Structure formats: C-alpha cells, structure tokens
Amino acid sequence: MNQLTTQLTGVPRTMLMTTWARVEEHQRPDAMFRDPQAAKWWQSLAWDRELDSYYTWQARLAWVVRANQLDLVAKRHLDKYPDAVVVELGSGLSTRFYRVGQDCSCWIELDLPEVTELRRQLDTETAQHRFLSYSALDFSWMDEIPPQSPQSLLFIAEGLLMYFTASQVQQLIAQMRQRFPGGSLTFDVVGGMTKGKEAKKLAQLGAPLQWFIDCDRDVTNLGLTVLQVSPLLQLLQNYPERLGYWSWFGWLTKLPALRNASLILETQLQPL
C-alpha cells in the first residue's frame, strides 16, 4: 500500500504513537487484544522519527492497557444496551469499532477535520459507522447525535480531556449534561504528579497537558456521578511479565499520588 503523507501537529500528532502501540500489541503472541484493522492501516502510515523519544516501553504498555480497559467498558455497555449509540470524542485513529463495536446501532468517530480527513483515506464511512469533523469544544457536534434514550448513550474520551483547560472541560461537560442527561461518559484523567518530566516533553511536542486532578472525587464537582474508578498503574500490575523488575513495586501504586497519577473513570452525566 502507498504511504499517506501525514502533516499532523500538536495533540493530533500523538495519535501515531497510540496507533503504533496497538499495532505492536496485535503482533505479540500474548496480546491483550487483536487489532488487525490498525495493522492494516499502519501499512499506509509513516512513522514520525521525532516521536522516538516519547515512545517508551512504559508509555506503550500504558496506552495498550488503557485501550483494553476502555474496550471492556464499551463491551459491557453494548451488552446492556443493544441499541446503544457510542461516540468517541477525539477519536484519532481509534479502531475500537472494529474490535468491539460492529454490533452497535451507531458508532461515531469525532475529531478535528485534519484527523477525520486522514481517517477517510484509511476507513469507509457507513450509516452505522459515522465520522464527524469537529473539535469536541465546538458544541454543534451535539446536533449530529441521533435521538436515543439517554441511558443507551456512551461517550468515550480516550487521551483527550487532559489537553483541555479546566474551564474548557467544565464547559464541555456542562453542555453534555444539558443535552444528554443520564448518558454515560468514560474518560481518563491525570494527576498532579504527571506535571513532571513527561508533561514537559509533551509541551515541547506542542501538546501540553493542561487539566490535572487531585483525585477522582474532583470530577463530581463537574456534575458527574462516578460509577467506577480504575487506576491505570494498578491495572498495569495485572501484567507482571510485561513490567519485569518494576512489578516488585506494585504496592507503591496504592499510595494516593501514584494511584491518582492516571485514572480511568466511568461516570454518568447528571441533569443540570
């Protein structure tokens, strides 16, 4: 296949790393999940060598574990609501639809126009699997969501909200609460200790982290009911063979600063 020219900057540029992480996971004999669609797309994508220093084995494992956990969330939702509508905010080159969502009544990939343009060169839009070219902060995307019972709606924001300011996150969630009260929103957040070396590296990439929380209770102030909390560093302990020497330090992940360094939160949108 011919390689596509990708001229991505800022936050969209980071999606090459998470996509490559899934491709490498797919190729492992002990893979957490298979992702043949990502492997197929990767034949047409060119790796950005300037991302080498960001693509560490620790980051790769964290991205894969996060993707797997969100797959499980989506599966549970689809099992409970066969007529569900799933919306991935800032979807990048997510292939979750192909991994777990092909029985979904409607699955929507929402991202910036330059990202959606790249997806259209790799993927095929259908009535069931739709692509929307919007920033998540351009709230007119909400008009595109098909009418559905709120309980069957699932919004997934994977690796997105930490790039927004606290004010932008608050405005987005307030709008979603007004339009989709009772809907489910699953997303990951980062804690204060993430402000260190890795955050500074991302800032140099033009993708600064801007929203940090102290603990999961902080999001209740946004009008969200927290249903499930999955600390990412604790999820990593399920794969000691991947962690090697570092698996001996698993007990440290119970310390608040490490527990809250990265969380996956399953929440419900409270009515305004």
Q: What is the pTM of this model?
A: 0.95
Is 253 within 8 Å of 259 (Cβ atoms)?
yes
| Predicted pLDDT at 250 | 80
pLDDT digits (tens, 9 = 90+) for 203-254: 888 999 999 998 888 999 999 999 999 999 999 999 999 998 888 878 888 8
What does the pLDDT average to over 251-271?
A: 92
Is 20 within 8 Å of 49 (Cβ atoms)?
no
pLDDT digits (tens, 9 = 90+) for 162-176: 999 999 999 999 999
Mean pLDDT of the chain: 93
What does the pLDDT average to over 171-185?
A: 98
Cα(54)–Cα(34) distance, rounded to whole angstroms? 24
| Predicted pLDDT at 215 | 86
| Predicted pLDDT at 1 | 43
Cα(2)–Cα(174) distance, rounded to whole angstroms? 43
Q: Percent of the chain beyond pLDDT 70?
A: 98
pLDDT digits (tens, 9 = 90+) for 133-165: 999 999 999 999 998 899 999 999 999 999 999
In DSSP terms, which residues pair with 4 in a beta bridge? 45
Cα–Cα nearest to 176, from 224, 108, 116:
224
